[in-house]
Amino acid sequence: MKITVIGTGYVGLVTGTCLAETGNDVTCVDCDREKIDMLCRGDIPIYEPGLTELVGRNAVAGRLHFTTDLDSAASTAKFIFLAVGTPPAEDGSVDLSALNVVVDQIASHLAEDAVVICKSTVPVGTNAAVAERLKELTGRECDVASNPEFLKEGAAIDDFMKPDRVVIGARRKAVADSLWDLYQPYLRTDKPLLVMSPESAEMTKYVANALLATKISFINETANLCERAGADINDVRRGIGHDSRIGFAFLFPGVGYGGSCFPKDVLGLAAVAREHGVAPLILDAVDEVNNRQKYVLTEKIERHFDNKLSDKTIAVWGLAFKPGMDDVREAPALTLIDRLLDLGAILRVHDPVAIDNVRKEYGDKLIYCTRPDDALKDADALAILTEWKEFIHPDFEAMRRIMRQPVIFDGRNLYDPGQMKDAGFAYYSIGRPAVS
């Protein structure tokens, strides 16, 4: 099938590449000439395991193309996926300006049987608005479907190729059937393709992310209570996780969620609720708890050093908002860095892949280290913000020799407090008694 994907950000590039992998002829379009030139050279502008190889293979096979020529790409496509950015506005609502520009641009180039598919995360009613706008511009009814993405950064290729489910919002059965044909290769293990109204599909994306964010904020708030009450959040988590109604997913305490999805989707759904006269009490609380949680580790550091950090060197392991990617948007590590810099601390930072993105924001304000041990040199403490696997089994004896003081602030509960006591470290984690 002839497919055009507009937008080569995280969602667009993964979607286009995976669709090409099953034999489709895919053209990815972006207005950013530098990004398109990079992709044509085989360089990938984002970090996602396996994506470089997949792009290269399909480009060489002639199934995957990159261009800035939107008009030409739109005119020959059966399916046109809209995967442009929909960032949050200052009030938390969704900025649809980029999407609207693209809709206006493709209108005069749509084939009669073309299906426009909203892949971007958009508020309820966007599909209907796009369909109405295309009707105004073309003078005919145009098929507009909704197909929200459920990709986890760091596992996006597997999520696309082996989805839990595919959600389709369509007003005509013929459109739903054509998308079933497109997605059938990815649903060979009897995973469902769920057909519903576009409004329900749009809502499904927001509700899924908001509910997962709620689980994270809930366990984090519970962890803070456990710490005050003398309980251990890991024991509590195991005690509730074996309840089949609850489960373990997204019940790991830490320093809050980040990234490009959860923060903006919680705010976006709350904005939609307000527009419809519904007070988003739970969503507002989820966001507030998460924002507070990002300061929990910093507050532990300040208390340990009696608020005297101007002469202290702090090592930071982990900058990305979660392992397996270089994405630092809304990352808890940045909240900690900002606060410690304000207090005059010297920061030696390390991350396996996100260093360059942090350097773009902070320049020479930080000391960037290519190896975890380099960050520990003369450090008065170590703060762990991302649970990269390489941090799980360090040489604690070697760490004590390198550091000025054996103190660890673990924002991801990677280590056992008893083990840290035996190793001679002062150890602070989330929702568990401190080791002093």
3-class DSSP state for residue 76?
coil
3-class DSSP state for residue 315?
strand
Catalytic pick from 18, 28, 261, 369?
A: 261
Structure tokens at 33: 């000439």
Sign of CA dihedral 409, 414, 417, 420: negative
Which residues, at least 6 apart from 34, have a Cβ–Cβ distance to it below 8 Å? none
**322 with 259: CB under 8 angstroms?**
yes
Neighbours of 367 (CB within 10 A): 16
Structure tokens at 145: 């479907």
Q: How far is CA 423 from CA 313, 405, 430, in A?
A: 21, 13, 19
Spatial distance between the Cα atoms of 271 and 86, rounded to a whole number of angstroms: 14
Spatial distance between the Cα atoms of 199 and 180, rounded to a whole number of angstroms: 19
Q: Has 261 been annotated as catalytic?
A: yes
Spatial distance between the Cα atoms of 120 and 377, rounded to a whole number of angstroms: 44
Q: How far is CA 321 from CA 95, 258, 329, 333, 374, in A?
A: 23, 5, 7, 7, 21
Rounded to 5 degrees, φ, ψ at 94 are -95, 130
Task: Kindly list the catalytic residues.
Answer: 261
